[in-house]
Amino acid sequence: MKVSLTVNGEEVSASCEPRRTLADFLRHDLGYTGVHVGCEHGACGSCTVSVDGATARSCCMLAVQAEGCTVTTIEGLASSGELDPLQESFREHHGLQCGFCTPGMLATAHELLRDNPDPTDSEIRAAISGNLCRCTGYQFIVDAIKGAIRPPHDGQQRDGVVEPGAAASSRRK
């Protein structure tokens, strides 16, 4: 079947079988390989993209369902060659290691900050709890999302019982 949709502002179309997931369609038929597939059963969140303004796990959607939809992938976040504030904050706070979960994390974090512009640490943790990361232990992802809050917050603020890892690292020579 032919599927036509808008991806990152561009109208695109390709043909695929009905069984093709949106994730595979975006990656293999349209070339948006920034969409990552980690489990194909809706559990890891790596393939999360925005569909018509709401996050969706693209492994749990058929491509044919996306007919006429507007999709944003990680490739669409940095416009005009500049990282967006969330991407910048992930870089600054070391919110990624291998980068495989990062596209889904960014999509989820964008939606969180849109719907809740000033989340607490536990709200951030709850919001990303459907996005598995095996590298970072999440601490710096939480810091990165916190760091992208506008107006900027004191990066040291945290509602856990421990002082922040980044700024509070003590040193002894």
Residues 5-44 interacting with another protein (rule: CB under 8 A): 17-21, 24, 27-28, 32-44
Using CB under 8 A as the binding rule, the residues of this chain from 153 to 172 that contact another protein are 158, 160-166, 168-172
Scanning the structure block, which residue is given the tokens 């809706």?
42
The residue among 10 and 162 lying less far from another protein, judged by its C-beta, is 162
Q: CB of 19 within 8 A of CB of 6?
A: no
The residue among 6 and 97 lying less far from another protein, judged by its C-beta, is 97
Pairing of strands 70-72, 54-57: unpaired
Using CB under 8 A as the binding rule, the residues of this chain from 60 to 99 that contact another protein are 60-62, 64-65, 67, 73-75, 77-78, 83, 87, 90-92, 94, 96-99
Beta-bridged to residue 11, according to DSSP, are 6
Residue 130 carries which side chain, given as an amino acid letter? G
The residue among 122 and 152 lying less far from another protein, judged by its C-beta, is 122
Helix axis angle for 85-92 and 139-147, nearest 10°, is: 140
Q: How far is the CB of 164 from another protein (least distance, A)?
A: 7
What whole-number distance in Å separates Cα of residue 102 and Cα of residue 115? Answer: 20
- Residue from 10, 54, 80, 150 binding another protein (CB under 8 A): 54
Q: Is the peptide bond before 151 cis (omega within 30 degrees of 0)?
A: yes
Using CB under 8 A as the binding rule, the residues of this chain from 112 to 131 that contact another protein are 112, 121, 124-131
